[in-house]
Amino acid sequence: MSVLDDIVDGVRIDLAERESELGLADLRAALADVDAPRDPMPHFRAAGSSVIAEVKRRSPSKGDLAEIPDPTVLARQYADGGAAAISVLTEQRRFGGSLADLRAVRAAVGTPLLRKDFIVTSYQLVEARAAGADLALLIVAALDDDLLRRLYDEARELGLTVLVEVHDEPETERAIELGAELIGVNARNLKTLAVDHDTFGRLAPLVPDDRVLVAESGISGPADVQRFVDQGARAVLVGEALVKDGDARRAVEQMTGLETNEGSTA
């Protein structure tokens, strides 16, 4: 069993418990009280690098990263630093997150929010919107074609912007065929947790110019952001480097607005 399979198995167990406590019909009813979703795409398409700053306590590959007793404090620092969106981990077993974190951050900032989780059912999409998320993550490696299409369409119907994550060439082709507008290239293989720093540069040329590319994993500072921007990224998703920095606002500012270097082949 791969690391991804193990994570998804745990997600399904926790999901079944939540579903037993609150049915889908009641969850959908809660959508009536949620503000309209915020659209992050104009910011992502604007000139200069955009940052998706992540609230992330731990990870399967690195273990504990940072104590975050109040995620709203970190989220406000991200917002003040100019983050185009804020990613909130809601997976509990491996990442120490929760939907409570997402709801708290939603109440604290007006920045578009990404629910970062291993989404495998419609229920999770409705959960995301009910908790105030504006974006949802769909990981191609965790979904077959039919389920990927169904969840993508359902997310769009809910008004969610979908970040479709890929790790290799076949997954990139699937994301393109899906019509995904926002494609995240993760340098970390979720089946093994190994990182290949050349992944983005290898996959970016396969993606049509009308799509928006997000670089994920392996970003420690502005130099890494610049490298990905030069290779075609319009946004970067950064977690570990920001939660460990000590000055999250400044760190986001330093990664924001970087433009393609003259003479780049991107």
Residue-wise pLDDT tens digits, 111-145? 999 999 999 999 999 999 999 999 999 999 999 99
Residue 227 in this model has a pLDDT that exceeds 60:
yes
CATH class of residue range 3-30+49-254 = alpha beta
As a whole number, mean pLDDT of residues 100-119 equals: 97
78-94: pLDDT as tens digits: 999 999 999 999 999 99
Rounded to whole angstroms, how far apart are CA atoms 37 and 113?
Answer: 9
Catalytic choice (91, 127, 171, 216)? 216
Cβ–Cβ < 8 Å for 140, 163 = no
Catalytic choice (49, 59, 87, 217)? 217
Q: Which amino acid is at 69?
A: P
Alpha helices in 118-221 (DSSP H): 122-130, 145-157, 169-178, 199-203
As a whole number, mean pLDDT of residues 135-163 equals: 98
The yes-or-no answer on residue 56 being catalytic is yes
Distances (CA, A) of 1 to 4, 90, 95, 123, 191: 8, 23, 19, 25, 9
The yes-or-no answer on residue 186 being catalytic is yes
The yes-or-no answer on residue 2 being catalytic is no
Catalytic choice (116, 127, 171, 189)? 116
Who contacts 70 (Cβ-Cβ below 8 Å, separation ≥6)?
104
Catalytic choice (50, 54, 87, 240)? 54
Q: Give residue 225's pLDDT band: very low, low, confident or very high (50, 70, 90).
A: very high
> Which of these ranges, 25-34, 61-70, 145-154, has the smallest mean pLDDT?
61-70
Cβ–Cβ < 8 Å for 134, 112 = yes
pTM: 0.95
The yes-or-no answer on residue 165 being catalytic is yes
Catalytic choice (87, 91, 98, 165)? 165
CA angle at residue 113 from 111 to 114, to 5 degrees? 150
The yes-or-no answer on residue 116 being catalytic is yes
Residue 82 falls in which region: left (phi positive, over 0), alpha (psi -120 to 50) or beta:
left
Determine the longest span between alpha carbons in the chain, in angstroms: 57
Please list the residues that pair with 208 across neighbouring strands. Answer: none
The yes-or-no answer on residue 54 being catalytic is yes
User: Would you call 38 exposed, middle or buried from its count of C-beta atoms within 10 A (0-12, 13-18, 19+)?
Assistant: middle
pLDDT of residue 245: 86
Domain ranges within the chain, ordered by starting residue: 3-30+49-254
